[in-house]
């Protein structure tokens, strides 16, 4: 990751697609969910999301549905396409 002079995180670039860290919706950025390590972010508290970031259209960015973790975004709350 690149950091600018102000200490702000900058974008990652991979195969002409830019990614930036966004807060995980399933654990609300804590890295822990349901008494264990968050499955959506692996305990990091954020996930890399292709830019521009788009909220998951299925769960509305919540990361879960009434039936459990959103399968469309894996619980991250961000569209993964």
Per-residue confidence band for 46, with pLDDT thresholds at 50, 70 and 90: very high
> How many other CB atoms are there within 10 angstroms of residue 74's CB atom?
18
pLDDT of residue 1: 43
CA dihedral 61, 62, 63, 69 (to 10 degrees): -140
% of residues, the chain, pLDDT over 70: 79
Flag whether the pTM goes above 0.75.
Answer: no
Give the pLDDT mean for 41-70. 92
Q: What is the average pLDDT across 47-53?
A: 88
For residue 54, give both structure tokens: 């788009």
**What number is the average pLDDT over the span 7-31?**
79
Q: What residue spans define the domains of the chain?
A: 12-69
Question: Mean per-residue pLDDT for 42-56?
Answer: 91
Supply 16's token pair.
Answer: 């002409």
């Amino acid at each position: 990751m690149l950091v600018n002079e102000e200490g702000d995180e900058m974008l990652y670039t991979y195969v002409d697609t830019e990614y930036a860290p966004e807060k995980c919706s399933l654990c609300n950025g804590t890295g822990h969910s349901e008494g264990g390590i968050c499955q959506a972010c692996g305990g990091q508290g954020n996930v890399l999301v292709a830019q521009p970031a788009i909220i998951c259209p299925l769960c509305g960015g919540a990361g879960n549905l009434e039936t459990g973790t959103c399968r469309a975004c894996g619980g991250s709350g961000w569209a993964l396409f």
